[in-house]
Chains A and B, each alone.
Chain A
């Protein structure tokens, strides 16, 4: 296929403003008469609020308003309405906002916060998910029965269960009876931070008639608008949400964060705009993070290592509030097997409350967590029965025609995980006996497979508008936000390709403003290139129809005989008899001055085809827009005496369908891999006994730096087209982050014979595990 723009690594459309520092993020913006907001955080993980006295704060110079949870005692939530803007009656995690002020300067606001007096009565906290699920555990939400919630999720009153998602397929009891070998293990990983470089920021202004203007770094402005509308009891039309440049999101900015608080502060400040900026410490202690995870898996295989039955219990530590956590539990549940065909499955995927900061969406949406467990389990089963880790995966891999955990039969064009596994294995040098040891360091290689579909409702929608300008250029307006992933550039390439226009003549509107921007459900789930892409194609074709309608009249040629190519409208075979596209942009004007038609505005929308809700008892149904498959392999070096690991090489393979912009795709692969490596080797919140975070800065919450990058990273992009994807494309954003930790653990096993069950695999954790499992590696050589 010889495309002019699709498939090319063109530089991103917003490069200039970003490279020159001109790009404005919320923190760089000012609104006239703006105040600064700051919140006070709870020092207790679980406590009753006995009283809050804001009098001293109110009197502090510069302070315009000081509010508590009493100011707005209404619960909000994406799926379960369990959270108030400010804690009222009770605090549920150490770091939860309990009061807030708005003042003339940041300094004044910071000082005023210290003047708020809060009296607490500490309650017994619960931090471990297994403890939280035991009868008699401290309850986070005593009124759970009264909370409104989406019908898709069912919180269990009287417990700390926000939701249980079930997969019941076949007959596991019978399956285990028939299995030759059964392996049972437990795995876990802690809560981790998104680590987006831009701390959360928003500005809000509340007008006296209840209309509201918000500027925020949100990934999903329409979700922000929707929730504010429900929370404030205002029609959607009265709320306008602006999103400028966003400095990284990774899901942390996918839902609603501090916008409601900023709106309230503005309301109580007489309608002055209020800017709320988080410090990095607040990003750690107070902004939402990734749920923690615990899994127990029981796998039964036949003599060849084919899985006959599998039983999983996944528990997501959602922290104090459910937020996206219930949907994450659901998504992990319906993908629970990993990219393998399992005929008999019993899976409970539970979202549980604990007195930790609460979790929200995070790249991978539950999949990084359960794939850590499932891929480790695959390796351990392989080892138990003496089958090679690549071989066991190939034997179980899903293929076109396979049935997934929810009973979906994979289409012919579903994508090929087996090809990905083979490609990654080949690139990493699997099976080649070149393992060396050097200065006591041991080398090993490991591999893990992955899959994910967008976790979204079956009716999630996207739309696009292509609006022409007088000079024949066009503005492309889409609801997907640019958070760094570059989707808007790919969409411009698609538009240029469809309209046969020069790429430089497509301007992607750089901001999202809900009043003007066409609707997009959310910028999450690796869905936007696919769905917005289809919407853009529809919009381009719609624009083309309008142009050709006018062209037919202007040229007095049947529409079916007309061609739009390289910005000319002409009869087939007669390019010299054409009219430039520009002359149709605002309607067509005949030489005598009469005009026909009108300004060309192409519009398109897309909803997924044939998706369904899932059965509440069995999880059966069709949740997946498309599945992206992949595999990642790593080669590492371990120093057993110190536990230090160096990742030498990574080989990644994804069945991406079509790389619309390979340069951007590489960026996703390199970035996602490192974010995942970072989580695997060095990340995790550390709390003291009282549930107070100990590592709330980048000195002690380590994330990967330039020197942590592996020397080599080989990337294979497999392009088996997705028939309904734009130009065959699927989605990649989250996928690149999956399965790196289990690949590293597999490599550690290959090098040392030691099995890791918990993340992060810090040097200390690896050394401790070696000491427990293979102390002979630490015996000094004489």
Chain B
């Protein structure tokens, strides 16, 4: 049984701001419910109010143009996102990552915004959004701001959202021309699972001989992380194997895998190495 709370479905964003200002930490926003309902049943949170965002039409917008990129409203479900032509055409890394979340039925309800606001260290969409350098659009009574996804996560299940703030959409800029992106996820089973380790990468040819690399990880730190320091190594004009040999120790310093019920520290450390090499090898060869 779920705890007792008041349910409200505001029709306007201004109404939502009022409710958020009023309740602060005692309110939870409801989009797909696939994380929130589980959390409520487990009594991880006992809010006074649950605010359903799905009655606000503008939050269901999903659009793309080359210049601004992909705009994903907070209420857009993962399946809608996956079935949108522009997503598979221009953002294959996002497709690859999002399609590993839960199962088809979960993806009929779960939202991209929900996935990042839940802020699990294992959030599969995060490495993709990090390498694509997405921006999170936030609004409150005080106004609007855009937060790079890299700055959005504050800790395990914590975001930087302040009291009264909500995410209205996520904007994903079109990746540079010629980019190749991908997401590899290690699981305990062939069947659906949370990431034991998740690696997202984006490789862009920057000149005839060199490439720029963006690398991001899930499940190896308190939040999903970009391996910014290690990425610099790949600017050098060397064979990939050599670059990886130099970059991996730096990646190790960026992450802090732990032992939990899903995997051991040593094994996760191994997976980071193995999956990073495999992903970059896949993305490197093409050009």
**A positions within 8 Å CB-CB of B:** 106-107, 110, 641-644, 646, 681-682, 686, 694-695, 699-700, 702, 704-708, 762-764, 767-768, 782
Contact = CB atoms under 8 A, between A and B. Distances in A.
B188 A705 contact: no
B176 interface: no
Interface residues of B, number: 21
Nearest to A768: B267
A708 B191 contact: yes
B261 A707 contact: no
B207 interface: no
Interface in B132-153: none
Contact of A702 (B188, B263, B275): B188
Nearest to A694: B261
Contacts of B1: 106-107, 110
A538 to B, nearest CB: 46
Contacts of B262: 700
A764 B263 contact: yes
A773 to B, nearest CB: 16
Given A681-B189, A694-B261, A708-B191, 11 more contacts: A642-B270, A643-B267, A695-B261, A700-B262, A702-B188, A705-B190, A706-B191, A763-B267, A764-B263, A767-B270, A782-B241
Given A106-B1, A107-B1, A700-B262, A642 B189 contact: no
Contact of A686 (B191, B192, B261): B261
B190 A646 contact: yes
B31 to A, nearest CB: 20
Given A107-B1, A110-B1, A641-B274, A764 B190 contact: no
Contacts of A682: 188-189
A642 B261 CA distance: 17
A402 to B, nearest CB: 40
Interface in B234-287: 241, 261-264, 266-267, 270-271, 274-275
B192 A705 contact: yes
Contact of B191 (A641, A694, A705, A768): A705
Contact of A767 (B192, B241, B267, B275): B267
Contacts of A681: 189
A763 B188 contact: yes
A763 B195 CA distance: 13
A764 B260 CA distance: 12
A204 to B, nearest CB: 22
A682 B263 CA distance: 12
Contacts of B189: 681-682, 702, 704-705, 708
B191 A642 contact: no
A762 B191 contact: no
A768 B267 CA distance: 8
Given A642-B186, A767-B267, A768-B267, A702 B261 contact: no
B203 to A, nearest CB: 19
22 contacts: A106-B1, A107-B1, A641-B270, A641-B274, A642-B186, A643-B267, A646-B190, A681-B189, A694-B261, A695-B261, A700-B261, A702-B191, A704-B189, A705-B191, A707-B192, A708-B189, A708-B191, A763-B186, A763-B188, A763-B196, A764-B267, A768-B267
Nearest to B192: A705
A681 B187 CA distance: 12
A516 to B, nearest CB: 37
Contacts of B264: 764, 768
Contacts of B275: 642
A682 B193 CA distance: 12
Contacts of B192: 705, 707
Contacts of B51: none
Contacts of B274: 641-642
A28 B25 CA distance: 38
A707 B194 contact: no
Nearest to A764: B267
Contacts of B261: 686, 694-695, 700
A767 B191 CA distance: 19
Interface string B181-208: 0000010111111101000000000000
Point out which of A681, A695, A700 has the most chain B C-beta atoms below 10 A from its C-beta: A700
A700 B1 CA distance: 21
A646 B263 CA distance: 19
A681 B191 CA distance: 12
Contacts of A699: 194
A704 B267 CA distance: 22
A704 B191 contact: yes
Contacts of B266: 768
A112 to B, nearest CB: 12
Nearest to B2: A107
Contact of B190 (A642, A707, A768, A782): A707
A325 to B, nearest CB: 26
Among B1, B189, B194, B274, max chain A CB count under 10 A is at B189
Nearest to A639: B274
Nearest to B193: A702
A704 B191 CA distance: 7
Nearest to A704: B191
B188 A762 contact: yes
Kindly list the 6 A-B residue pairs having the minimum CB-CB distance in the complex, ordered from nearest.
Answer: A705-B191, A764-B267, A641-B274, A708-B191, A694-B261, A708-B190
Contacts of B188: 682, 702, 762-764
Contacts of A695: 261
A706 B104 CA distance: 13
A509 B138 CA distance: 62
A9 B32 CA distance: 44
